[in-house]
Chains A and B, each alone.
Chain A
Amino acid sequence: MVAGAAQIQGAQFARRAAEVERILAILGDGRAIRVEPAALQPAGILLDLYGEDLRDRAFVIGDGGAELMLRPDFTVPIVRLHMARVQDLGQTASDAAYVYCGPVWRRQPAGSERATEYLQAGLEMFGGADPAAADAEVLARIAMAIGDAPVDLVTGDMGLVLAAIDALPTTLARKAALRRHVWRPGRFQTLLHCFSDRHSTVSAARAELVAAVRERRVAQLIDAAGAPVGLRGSAEVAARADHVATEAATAPLAADAVAGMEAILAVAGEATHALTRFEALAASMPGLEPAVSRFRARLDAISARGIDPARLRFEASFGRTTLEYYDGFVFGAVPRGRPDLPPIASGGRYDALAKALGPGSVLPAVGGIIRPEALMAIAGHG
């Protein structure tokens, strides 16, 4: 079991403080600003972003009207901090790098040995004109801080998976549904097969709805079905009825398109091997080419930073079961031979989340964290 921040005592304080400073010096490289966002964050923002799943995993505190949450990670707090700085200082501050170290709080299932409170030391980089270089820099700094501790680096690319969805020969509505559920592999598979099912039958009620749309009598169907209670209005019901009818009339997704998608999700191995695989798959999925180019540029940038892509593990499905906000490069560092321990480090690119929090501003964002206590434990200092 990894000791939580609350259990440290005596001489361990000095060792831990020194380790944190060592890590932050490497992550910051003399350029990043050290920050400390609030431990208590507005629960509403976080719950709205991450949904009900977060309630199980975070500590929420009632505060009369507005609920507060002990930060389960630093991503949203740092984005909010950055937005506030840009507000104060203007657009010149929009390219920025921050480092930080502090506790995060996670609820664990009853009987679990995992820590509910532990340190994260991290780096977040906003803005910049070269995302491949930024991705590589975060990975390289994290790897440098980990040093020769016994970990295995794993990388992924959610952006490539999302691009593969966009390249499917099907309706925008189906692509949107797949995109939404990319973080839930079970649901994703079910949808993919639903969309390609040649033999699906519809219920009588659904057939009736589709007929009503075609015969332009949805309004009557709605009126007959019940009183219009609640915030969701008849116009919304009618709009979605149209979508249901369109979906019913949409041709099944071609079997080879499904196979292509599954082939992409199955890519695993050394990063250079993965690139070769993607280049081959892009030959039959031309829409994938820009994402493959970005992947190639990132591998070049990683190589330029002294990490050999031919010895860097890649898994296309990596990053699908974390908190759902990475939409580009993702990575983790797993302790070698210790499946009982959580990852020592993790991170990735999260442009869409940053944009969701600061609408109207394009906010490319990439970052990563190390768990200093876990690193110390496996490096023999804990």
Chain B
Amino acid sequence: MSLRLGVPSKGRLQEETIAWFADRGVALERTGGAREYAGAVRGMADVSLVLLSAAEIPRELAAGRLHLAVTGQDIVREEMPHWRDLLVEIVPMGFGNADLVVAVPAFWVDVLDLSDLDAAAAEFRAFHGHRLRIATKYRHLVREFFRAHGVADYLIVDSQGATEATVRNLTAEAVADITSTGDTLRDNHLRVLDDGLILQSQATLFGTRAAPWAPAQIAALCELTRRLGVDPPDWLTPPQ
């Protein structure tokens, strides 16, 4: 069985992944037709490329159906709160940069930081009779962040897309979302709290303990990491 490397199947994340590998002398190629989600690594017959959506990658890594994969740290940390038990970050790749931030309506001049948000949430609850709602798809990360920073009287509303619009649409009062330039937040009249940075994320090459690591796969991994100029995970003993 070959070493299975998962990469995003489309979009800028895929383009930048291919470019990153190419810059390091490793050519990733799609095999078959333009719409087939399979590929190969030129010059490495023992590596097969699997193209799939970035959102599915944590699950596939956790299940051991991939040995390695490129995806965002945000997705891994959200899907797998105990990711360090199974996965290792082999190398951060320097693209796909995204900050997960807490943002509130810009006109809330009284809410500058998280302790203001906590106080405002308490007053909101007393006034409206229900909890202040935070729209996000990063439920675990937000909950853990708010617990660590003492924000209490809130409720999370699941939002899988167009999270910035939830406030105007009255489905939430504040949001926690990924931003890179901040333009989308500003266009939606939202402002990031002073201490509202939850996570700085970038595309990262992950490895997993869950996949079957026979000598052939370990050898392929070591060859690949050698070409990329990075260290293999220390829980794998390279073959002698």
Binding between chains A and B? yes
Q: Point out the residue from A51, A230, A241 that lies within 8 Å of B105, measured CB to CB.
A: A230
Question: Are A177 and B119 in touch, CB under 8 angstroms?
Answer: yes
Q: Is A381 an interface residue (CB 8 A)?
A: no
Q: Which of A180, A206, A230, A244 has the most CB of B within 10 A?
A: A230
A229 to B173 Cα, complex, angstroms = 9
Cα of A244 to Cα of B113 in the assembled complex, Å: 12
In the assembled complex, A216 has its CB within 8 A of some CB on chain B: no
Contact partners of B109 in chain A: CB under 8 A: 205, 209, 212, 218, 221-222, 225, 237, 241
A231 to B153, CA, bound (A): 16
Interface string of B174-202 (1 = CB under 8 A from A): 00000000000000111100100000000
Stretch from A20-28, A182-190, A292-300, A310-318 contacting the other chain: A182-190
* Closest chain A CB from B132 CB (angstroms): 8
Chain B positions 97-112 with a Cβ under 8 Å from a chain A Cβ: 105-112
- Judge if B24 is at the interface, Cβ distance under 8 Å: no
CA distance A275 to B128 in the complex (A): 41
Q: Is the CB of A236 within 8 A of B155?
A: no
**Bound complex: CA of A170 vs CA of B4, how far in Å?**
63
**Interface window among A11-19, A52-60, A155-163:** A52-60
Contact of B153 among A51, A56, A227 (CB under 8 A): A51
Residues of chain B lying within 8 A (CB to CB) of residue A212 = 109
Tell me which residues from 127 to 150 in chain B have a Cβ below 8 Å from any Cβ of chain A: 127-128, 130-132, 139, 143, 146-147, 150
Contact indicator per residue, chain B 56-68, by CB within 8 Å of chain A (1) or not (0): 0000000000000
Indicate if the CB atoms of B106 and A52 lie closer than 8 Å.
no
Chain B contacts for A240, CB-based, 8 A? 110-111, 119-120, 123
Interface residues of A in 108-159 (CB under 8 A from B): 109-111
Q: Are A227 and B152 CB-contacts (below 8 A) given A48-B130, A205-B112?
A: no
- Cβ of B90 within 8 Å of any chain A Cβ, yes or no, is no
Q: What 1/0 mask marks residues of chain B from 146 to 175 whose CB sits below 8 Å from any chain A CB?
A: 110010111110000000000110101100
Q: Within the complex, what minimum Cβ distance (angstroms) separates A277 from chain B? A: 28
User: Considering the complex, which residues of chain A in the window 219-234 have a beta carbon less than 8 Å from any beta carbon of chain B?
Assistant: 221-223, 225-232, 234
Set of chain A residues within 8 Å of B93, measured between Cβ atoms = none
The answer to whether A232 touches B189, judged by C-beta atoms less than 8 angstroms apart, is no
Contacts A209-B109, A231-B170, A237-B108; A47 near B155 (Cβ below 8 A): yes
User: What residues of chain B lie closer than 8 Å to A184, measured between beta carbons?
Assistant: 150, 152
Whether B123 and A51, one on each chain, are in contact in the complex, defined by CB atoms closer than 8 angstroms, is no
The 0/1 profile, CB within 8 Å of A marked 1, for residues 110-125 of chain B is 1110011001101110
Say if the beta carbon of A203 comes within 8 Å of chain B.
yes
Q: How far is the CA of A186 from the CA of B112 in the complex (A)?
A: 21
A181 part of interface (Cβ distance < 8 Å): yes
Residues on the A chain within 8 Å of B153, using CB: 51, 180
* Chain A: interface residue total (CB-CB under 8 A): 46
- Find chain B residues with CB under 8 A from A209 CB: 109-110, 112
Is A193 interfacial (CB 8 A cutoff)? no
CB-based contact A52/B105 at 8 Å: no
Residues of B within 8 A of A85 (CB): none
B173 touches A231 (CB 8 A): yes
Chain A hits for B119, CB < 8 A: 177, 240, 243
User: Which residues from A are CB-within-8-Å of B155?
Assistant: 47-48, 51-52
Most buried by B among A52, A225, A228: A52
Q: Which of B127, B130, B150 contacts A236 (CB 8 A)?
A: B127
Q: Which of B122, B131, B173 contacts A232 (CB 8 A)?
A: B173
Q: Which residue of A lies closest to B144 (CB)?
A: A56
User: Quick check: is A266 within 8 A (CB to CB) of the other chain?
Assistant: no
A226-B189, A230-B173, A244-B110 in contact; A52/B167 too (CB < 8 A)?
Answer: no
CB-CB under 8 A from B156, the residues of chain A are 52, 55
Contact B112 A206 (CB under 8 A): yes
Contacting pair A181 B110 (CB below 8 A)? no
Check if B82 is an interface residue, CB within 8 A of chain A.
yes
Q: Is A341 an interface residue (CB 8 A)?
A: no
Residues of B near A111 (CB, < 8 A) are: 82, 85
Contacts of B116 in A (CB 8 A): 244
Return A190 CB to nearest CB of chain B, in Å: 7
Query: CA A194 – CA B114 in complex, angstroms?
Result: 14
A229 touches B154 (CB 8 A): no
**Given A55-B139, A56-B143, A236-B124, 4 other A-B residues pairs in contact with their CB atoms under 8 A:** A177-B119, A225-B109, A227-B189, A232-B124
Query: Would you list 20 pairs from A and B whose C-beta atoms are within 8 A, ordered by A residue?
Result: A51-B154, A56-B143, A109-B82, A111-B82, A177-B119, A184-B150, A184-B152, A191-B150, A205-B194, A222-B107, A225-B107, A226-B106, A227-B106, A236-B127, A237-B110, A240-B110, A240-B111, A240-B120, A240-B123, A241-B110
